[in-house]
Structure 1
Amino acid sequence: MKPQALLLALLATAAPLHAMAADVTADDDKSAVDGVVVTARAHDTVGSTASKLATPLVETPQSVSIITADEIDKLGLQSLNQAMRYVAGVTPETRGGAVTRYDQFKLRGFEVTTTFLDGLSSQYPGWYADAQVDASTVDRIEILKGPASVLYGNSPPGGLLNFVSKTPKEVASGEIEVRAGSRDLYETSLDTTGPIAGDSRYTYRLLALYREGDGQAQTTRYERYLIAPSFTWRPDDATTITLLGRYQHDPKSNSYGSAPSKGSAFANPLGQLSPDFYDGDPNFEAYNRTQASIGYLAEHRFSDVFAFHQNLRYTRVESNYESVYASGLADDNRTLHRGTAASLESNDGLAVDNQLSARFDTGPLTHNVLLGLDYQHMMAKVLFGLGTAPDLDIFNPVYGQATIGDPRGPAGFYNADSRIKQEQTGLYAQDQIKLDRLVVLLGLRHDKVTQDTTALGATNTTTSVDQSKTTGRVGVLYHFDSGLAPYASWSQSFEPQGQTDFAGNPFKPVTGDQVEGGLKYESPDKRVYATLAAFEIKRKDALTADPDHLNFSVQDGELRSRGVEFEGRAHLTHRLKLTAAATKLDVAFTKSNDGLLGKTPVGVAEKTASAYLDYDFGGPLDGLAGGAGVRYVGPSWGDTANTFKSPSYTLVDLNLGYTLGKLNPSLQGWRATASATNLFDKRYVSSCYSVDWCWFGEQRTVQVGLKRSW
């Protein structure tokens, strides 16, 4: 379907839905957060991810950051990965300009290997069929820093991200927007919501989007179709059920390629590469992904004491991946050796989380107790293979060459066929205890994880993992009348491990332990919120080389991350808002038999800092609002041996918006927008994995848009 035809279809759909919507006062607006219904608020200082309960951030004894839909929208961000640019503790976009396929970054020095949507894991045990949540469907992103297994099970120690879906509102509203921009970007979207037939017991929301454009790598393209309907039923004041549907098709998705370090991260004697360098081949490049999900968020309050929540989602993801990739630069500094990779994958996942909460007093203590049982089931099918490809002259590339081992050829290509079945069951308990202004958070969880990986073919062998782990968390915070809140906490994570040691004994899960202390502040008028945190995380029992048996591993590796983070938001005046963040990290392998002792993992910046100013103009410029931001990412090691670094970079972003109704009353509801990221088009490398693989950061991207709201 052409974009223009899609826009007309969206308009036709929106009209009858809007006609059915009835006006409701703004004070009645509510939104669901992880199944908890919370009243809309002016400041984003209440979160649910850290405790699975609606809790003020200033009373949460662990670092939490929140990114709102408005913040994503004002910069025209296409991916949630881009939205992490102004968050403390994050080394963003480690895979550079390939923003339309996956969201990849480091959090407190650790790779974020899985994300959560509405409190449910999106974990995938295969290779390339990972789901990606489109930024247009997100009401907010909550980033919990540090280990979080006590509530969520299997997850890395750096922290996790929970994407909270946009859900139906009781206030009738909507918007249609068209955007155009750099590299032939075209986007049109619809968001409409409200009560059905004037009855606020039944509300709907419909999100739809079409986006296309050129990828940063020359000859590549991206394209996305998205529709996400939802429906909320409130049969009585105690019960809310929200059905959530989502369908997303990405027939094209940029490139996943890289550039050699010579010519990107540092000088090549023959010249420098352009940020649009492409190591692949347009006749072979493919990434076609379809993802669909259906689920619900349900809540029932039995009384003022007891409530029950159940979140459930079934997801299906299919992907077809084909790529020519770089495998090394020859000594002549221009001949790039290459190979081919391809996969056909699918994943069916079911996740459900049951929560029973109780709020009650015992003497002077107020308890908010949470008991939970969650379950995840995933079944993946993976066809994967590797092959060879012709060399490429990086300074005079010739594309369209015949590749060897093409999966479309008669000889076939896929040499690995596997089935992966993974299940996780977790039982957890938590108590938030308040004594006047003292807050104590206690949590305990037990998980059982099983995984069977069957390699089909001549051997038809199955490798099984059956592991259990108990994790905990303790936090203490005191919230002074002044708004200051010092806190300290300890939390754990775990990651199941496959394989066995030389003696045939299965490995136990890798664990993470964090100690964190800090100071939070929220002004009495809630115009200022800031947090300062210091932490140490140890990822223990990691696999490292067995010194006595070649090609085997032992479980005594350790990676330690220490750091200090600052993050704050302040309404300096009624028109001027400041957001700022800064991080200093010290990450190193403290135990290793692989020659990594004392080394820092690749792609982890020691220092990052950012600031963004938003200003709402008045007077003769009434209706105009804008903002400007600057972000700094320090150098990061480019290979595991720490022999070279990817250089630091500083970028500037800008956004402007004008309410056209201020110019002419007949244009009420219309708004024009413009944004630019990497305003000065700085050429930079976001990170490197080795001397052969580096990734250019995103070039300057300019967008203009026109939005009609009602």
Structure 2
Amino acid sequence: MVVGHKNGINVNTASNSLRVQTPLIELSQNVQVVTSKVLADQQIISMSDGLIRNVSGTARSEHWGDLYTNIVSRGSQIQAFRNGMNVVASYWGPLTEDMSFVDRIEFVKGPAGFMLANGDPSGLYNVVTKKPTGATKGEVNFTLGSFDLYRGSLDLDGALSKDKKLLYRFNVAAQNRGSQRDYEYNNRFVVAPVLSYQLDDKSKLTLEYNGQFARMTEVGSYYVFSRKGYGTFPANFTYTNPGLPPTRINDHSGYLTFEHNFSDNWKLTAQGSYFGYDQKGMSSWPSYVAPSGDSLIRNIGIWDAKSTMALGQVFLNGTFKTGSIRHRFLAGLDAANKNYYADWGQSHDLDTIGALFDPYNPTYGTPVNGYPVFDRTRPIEERAVAAGGIQKQRYSSIYVQDEIAFFQEKLRLTIAGRFTDVSQVYGVDVEYSKAQRFTPRVGLSYSINKSFSAYALYDQAFTPQAGRLFNGGKIKPITGNNMELGLKKNWFEDRWSTTLSVYRILKQNELTGDPVHSSPSQGYSMVLGEKIARGVEFDARGTILPGFTAIANYAFTDAQVTEVAEGAVGYTVGQLLPGYAKHTTNAWLGYEIQKGTLQGLGFNGVSHP
């Protein structure tokens, strides 16, 4: 694998898409950044490839394999963003980003609605894509791995004009990838061109396209069921069957960004984007399990989906003083229109009652009940009506924030507020339900010295949610608040950084699957009630000695139900919430030879649960 020398693993500034001007050590929020060097050194090629081991308290389920990432942190699934845009059109999304066009991933812990519109109180991750740098350079990567992994990628960066006003970045990647489970595969092709043009000394226009084209095994093939628990079957065992058609996904996204510097202290950024997603595929689940033993009927269900999203935002950053008091000002508008259609209303059994699939003596020829043939003659929008697979959302919001610095800028008080108006539809195409809310934010940060700071944060969240209740009723947005204390320290001239945080997150009105009426054809939800997540998180990263780098983290998480809504079944007060571990630790060490004929050769090791 050929890797050029890049920036280190420890940074102190956020990307422009996070909208904040404050250095991370002074920010009254916990933000962890996984840099391009970390992605390269750890040979991460997808959002699902061990990326989360670099950030404390994050976890994900294998539920969707490499289709969707669905990261859980602080007791809840966090929101997915790309270049500052909320790219969640439904619970199932977005498609995992291929790392060939990714520059960094920023994890914002705790609510960040003040800077990135609607979001969960537990946080979000922001995928920042590669942009032209103005330097002429290129990079080629070849990756070979176990289970038939063959991958190549190309990254070109440079200027298209002599005056370097017109710049480009071009990334392309292709992979064939198998699995430890037989008959599974995940093949992709990616293309991501970017053009930027410097209109004048103060203005720049950037046009970007990301295209991902996937061909993979049906969703759910990752599952292995057994009454005897883990480790019952060999590592290569699978319930899928050769001969099933692949799930095909075409994922397109485009961005147009305008940046204008009125002066050294004031900047306007406007961005519009469009996302188009098309999926033709299937999911697999057992439809019947024998009363004793592990024999079952494998069922293949259709899962076709279409998603479109149009998003826009404009924000103004400024710095000014009133006497001896310094202000960092932020104000902006966000708007989005999202539509998701899915057909999961057709299914087919591969096996029959008289010929169950026996996992202890599996046969993978032509299924006894034949292969599925689904009706796709009608448009997906029509089929989604019958399947109850419609999700729509429109929102707009306005926000203002001021970070006020006192006492030679050692003490910083952040006051912010956002007003959000949202309308949405879930399940069937009926009248939009509407909600509005103002959410405030107060943060305090104090610099003990230039490399050591303490912060406190109180933030409220407002997260619209989609669903439908079996007995009817209005779906309310998730409301919640986050209280957090933390310490941040940079060591050895900023070569090493540590963050320690203690938090409490309260969430109300959150929906969860109705255990009685939650099949894909029904898709009903119920209101859980109230839950609280508490925890302690510690992150450390940096360069120990020249060429020797390390990342380590620990998290203690306690998330449980504190109130159960009337009619909610299957939950009790004090019950722990699924999807996280109470204690998680991760460590990664890397060493790169600094001199001699082997200069640049690296060795890496990782330890995680």
Within the alignment, does 1:393 sit opposite 2:358 as a pair? Answer: yes
Q: Distance in 2 between matches of 1:139 and 1:223?
A: 22
Structure-2 change in CA distance of 1:628 and 1:596 (3 Å) = farther
Counterpart residue number, 1:606 = 582
Counterpart residue number, 2:400 = 429
Counterpart residue number, 1:577 = 549
Within the alignment, does 1:446 sit opposite 2:419 as a pair? Answer: yes
Q: 2:445 aligns with which of 451, 460, 477?
A: 477
TM-score, normalised with respect to structure 2? 0.88
Contact 1:81–1:92 (Cα < 8 Å) also in 2? no
Within the alignment, does 1:187 sit opposite 2:151 as a pair? Answer: yes
Q: Distance in 2 between matches of 1:51 and 1:404?
A: 51
Q: 1:529 aligns with which of 491, 494, 497?
A: 497
Contact 1:49–1:144 (Cα < 8 Å) also in 2? no
Contact 2:219–2:284 (Cα < 8 Å) also in 1? no
Give 5+ residue unaligned stretches, structure 1.
Answer: 1-25, 30-39, 456-460, 634-710
Q: For residues 441-463 of structure 1, give each alpha carbon's deviation from its aligned partner in whole angstroms, at most 9, with x where no partner exists.
A: 222111111123574xxxxx625
Q: Distance in 1 between matches of 2:529 and 2:586?
A: 34
Q: Distance in 2 between matches of 1:587 and 1:466?
A: 29
Structure-2 change in CA distance of 1:488 and 1:124 (3 Å) = same
Q: Distance in 2 between matches of 1:304 and 1:619?
A: 41
Q: Distance in 2 between matches of 1:392 and 1:553?
A: 32
- TM-superposed deviation, 1:578: 2.0
1:601-640 to structure 2, matched below 5 A, reads 601-618=577-594, 622-633=598-609
Counterpart residue number, 1:171 = 135
Counterpart residue number, 1:643 = none
Within the alignment, does 1:334 sit opposite 2:294 as a pair? Answer: yes
1:260-275 to structure 2, matched below 5 A, reads 260-265=225-230, 272-275=232-235
> What secondary structure is seen at the aligned counterpart in 2 of 1:251?
strand
Structure-2 change in CA distance of 1:566 and 1:629 (3 Å) = farther
Q: 2:194 aligns with which of 221, 226, 230?
A: 230
Q: Distance in 2 between matches of 1:423 and 1:91?
A: 29
1:125-144 to structure 2, matched below 5 A, reads 125=90, 128=92, 130-144=94-108
Q: Distance in 2 between matches of 1:49 and 1:585?
A: 31
Q: For residues 172-204 of structure 1, give each alpha carbon's deviation from its aligned partner in whole angstroms, at most 9, with x where no partner exists.
A: 001122222211111111100111133211110
Task: Give the number of equivalent residue pairs.
Answer: 579
Which amino acid in the other structure matches residue 104 of structure 2?
R
Q: Distance in 1 between matches of 2:201 and 2:17?
A: 26
Q: Distance in 2 between matches of 1:558 and 1:42?
A: 38
Which amino acid in the other structure matches residue 481 of structure 1?
N
Contact 1:405–1:411 (Cα < 8 Å) also in 2? no
Which amino acid in the other structure matches residue 370 of structure 1?
L
1:159-558 to structure 2, matched below 5 A, reads 159-253=123-217, 255-257=219-221, 258-265=223-230, 272-284=232-244, 286-327=246-287, 329-389=289-349, 390=351, 391-399=356-364, 400-403=366-369, 406-408=372-374, 416=387, 418-435=389-406, 436-453=409-426, 455=428, 462-481=430-449, 483-497=451-465, 506-523=474-491, 525-543=493-511, 557-558=529-530
Q: Distance in 2 between matches of 1:497 and 1:234?
A: 40
Contact 1:284–1:324 (Cα < 8 Å) also in 2? no
Q: Distance in 1 between matches of 2:439 and 2:376?
A: 52
Give 5+ residue unaligned stretches, structure 2.
Answer: 515-521
Structure-2 change in CA distance of 1:49 and 1:609 (3 Å) = farther
- Is the deviation greater in 619-628 or in 517-526? 619-628
Contact 1:204–1:231 (Cα < 8 Å) also in 2? yes
- TM-superposed deviation, 1:567: 0.4
The CA RMSD over aligned residues, in Å, is 3.0
Q: Distance in 1 between matches of 2:287 and 2:391?
A: 28
- TM-superposed deviation, 1:261: 4.8
- TM-superposed deviation, 1:596: 3.1
Q: Distance in 1 between matches of 2:512 and 2:40?
A: 44
Structure-2 change in CA distance of 1:95 and 1:504 (3 Å) = closer
> What secondary structure is seen at the aligned counterpart in 2 of 1:71?
helix
Contact 2:326–2:405 (Cα < 8 Å) also in 1? yes
> What secondary structure is seen at the aligned counterpart in 1 of 2:453?
strand
Q: For residues 416-460 of structure 1, give each alpha carbon's deviation from its aligned partner in whole angstroms, at most 9, with x where no partner exists.
A: 2654432111111111222221122222111111123574xxxxx
Which amino acid in the other structure matches residue 609 of structure 1?
T
TM-score, normalised with respect to structure 1? 0.76
Counterpart residue number, 1:115 = 80
Contact 1:82–1:99 (Cα < 8 Å) also in 2? no
Q: For residues 460-515 of structure 1, give each alpha carbon's deviation from its aligned partner in whole angstroms, at most 9, with x where no partner exists.
A: x6253211122222111111226221111011222224567799652321112111
Q: 2:30 aligns with which of 63, 68, 81?
A: 63
Counterpart residue number, 2:51 = 84
Q: Distance in 1 between matches of 2:149 and 2:542?
A: 34
Q: For residues 23-50 of structure 1, give each alpha carbon's deviation from its aligned partner in whole angstroms, at most 9, with x where no partner exists.
A: xxx9xx9xxxxxxxxxx88841211479
Within the alignment, does 1:589 sit opposite 2:549 as a pair? Answer: no
Q: Distance in 2 between matches of 1:42 and 1:198?
A: 33
Q: For residues 66-112 of structure 1, give each alpha carbon's deviation from its aligned partner in whole angstroms, at most 9, with x where no partner exists.
A: 1012211222222113243323433434117x643221331112123
> What secondary structure is seen at the aligned counterpart in 2 of 1:346?
strand
Structure-2 change in CA distance of 1:176 and 1:522 (3 Å) = same
Q: Distance in 1 between matches of 2:513 and 2:20?
A: 42
- TM-superposed deviation, 1:528: 1.6
Q: Distance in 2 between matches of 1:346 and 1:192?
A: 32
- TM-superposed deviation, 1:631: 3.0
- TM-superposed deviation, 1:247: 1.5
Structure-2 change in CA distance of 1:409 and 1:496 (3 Å) = closer
- TM-superposed deviation, 1:373: 0.4
Within the alignment, does 1:103 sit opposite 2:69 as a pair? Answer: yes
Q: Distance in 1 between matches of 2:471 and 2:220?
A: 39
Counterpart residue number, 1:10 = none
- TM-superposed deviation, 1:532: 0.5
Q: Distance in 2 between matches of 1:186 and 1:566?
A: 36
- TM-superposed deviation, 1:305: 3.6
- Is the deviation greater in 523-532 or in 624-633? 624-633
Contact 1:223–1:253 (Cα < 8 Å) also in 2? no
Counterpart residue number, 1:694 = none
- TM-superposed deviation, 1:533: 0.5
- TM-superposed deviation, 1:564: 0.5
Q: Distance in 2 between matches of 1:235 and 1:533?
A: 43
Q: Distance in 2 between matches of 1:543 and 1:211?
A: 38
Structure-2 change in CA distance of 1:467 and 1:256 (3 Å) = same
Counterpart residue number, 2:518 = none
> What secondary structure is seen at the aligned counterpart in 2 of 1:86?
helix
Contact 2:10–2:542 (Cα < 8 Å) also in 1? no
* Percent pairwise identity: 25
Q: Distance in 2 between matches of 1:357 and 1:91?
A: 31
Q: Distance in 1 between matches of 2:240 and 2:277?
A: 25
